[in-house]
Amino acid sequence: MNRIPLLRNALAITTAAVVIGLAGAGTTAAIALGFSVPKAQDYDYSVDHAIDGSRLTVTTGFAHLTFVPSPDDSLHVRARGIYRGDSPTIDIGADGSTVAVECSYDKYGSCDADVELQIPANLILTVNGAGGDVVLSDVAADVTVSTASGSVFARGSAGALLVDTRFGDVKISDATATAVEVSTTFGEITVESRTAPESVKTSNVIGDTTIGLPPAVAYAVEAESEKGDVSVDVINDPRSPKTLSAHSEEGQITVRPR
């Protein structure tokens, strides 16, 4: 007569034991995770270094890079940020021609570093990054920027400017560049030039393109979008030595006087 109540009691006890066991395991995992996650720490670094030659190559994983003019002929690097786990590193080549900025990410680590590089004028600058924004402010150099993910902002650039990013906007303003070439897969493109460059070339898949050029300057214009509107309001002369090429798959293209 007591078998059913006894069976119910046994099931209740077994279920309670399982629940308690799972709760205990969850608590243990939470405690273990708490001990595994490193504490956040501040990062502050600065160095001054001479540059032998006219080339500078900067590589980074995930740091945000800002380039500004140097007050002299040397390279000055200033970095700040917050990290968990391994500390960020900045390695400068013996001749000052290479800078490698490493922000490592592991299972529980993270890194958020802002690096300012003050560079001499008239360099040939190459920037390669996996992620993180790149900012160029009044940089007088021939510049090539390549990133997998990150926006590029250039203000007052002089020299040739080549930008290639897969995911990110590209905004160029107040430029006096001799040539501008921009390519992005997913992102808007804006080029505002204070002087008339010899050539402008842009291409993207998704995102609008806006190009502003000095008035009263003729360009041989080629502008095409597969699924977006195209508006050209500058002097279009196929005989002009100055060229403008803008292509997009799904974005609007606007070319206008600045």
HEC string of 195-220? Answer: CCCCEEEEEEEECCEEEEECCCCEEE
Local confidence pLDDT in tens for the 258 residues of the chain: 444 443 444 444 444 444 445 455 554 444 444 456 778 899 899 999 999 999 999 999 889 999 999 999 999 999 999 988 888 899 999 999 999 998 766 667 778 889 999 999 999 999 999 888 999 999 999 999 999 999 999 999 999 999 999 999 999 999 999 999 999 999 999 999 999 999 999 999 999 999 999 999 999 999 999 999 999 999 999 999 999 999 999 999 999 999
> In this predicted structure, what is the pLDDT of residue 103?
79
C-alpha 224/C-alpha 27 separation (Å) is 60
CA dihedral of 110, 116, 121, 122, whole degrees rounded to 10: 10
The two three-digit tokens of residue 138, written as one number: 């009044």
Q: Decide: 197 and 175 in contact? Cβ < 8 Å.
A: yes
Diameter of the chain measured on Cα atoms: 106
Q: How far is CA 106 from the centre of its chain?
A: 20
CA dihedral of 163, 198, 69, 112, whole degrees rounded to 10: -10
How many contiguous H segments (helices) and E segments (strands) does the chain have?
1, 21
Q: Decide: 124 and 160 in contact? Cβ < 8 Å.
A: no
**Residue 80: exposure state from Cβ atoms within 10 A (0-12, 13-18, ≥19):** middle
Q: Decide: 130 and 149 in contact? Cβ < 8 Å.
A: yes
> In this predicted structure, what is the pLDDT of residue 6?
39
**Of 252, 215, 258, residue with least CA distance to 235:** 215
> Whose structure tokens read 């308690």?
20
Encoded amino acid at 222, one letter: E
**Residue 120: exposure state from Cβ atoms within 10 A (0-12, 13-18, ≥19):** buried
> In this predicted structure, what is the pLDDT of residue 218?
97
> In this predicted structure, what is the pLDDT of residue 36?
61
Q: How many CB atoms lie within 10 A of CB 159?
A: 19
CA dihedral of 228, 233, 235, 238, whole degrees rounded to 10: 10
C-alpha 83/C-alpha 40 separation (Å) is 6
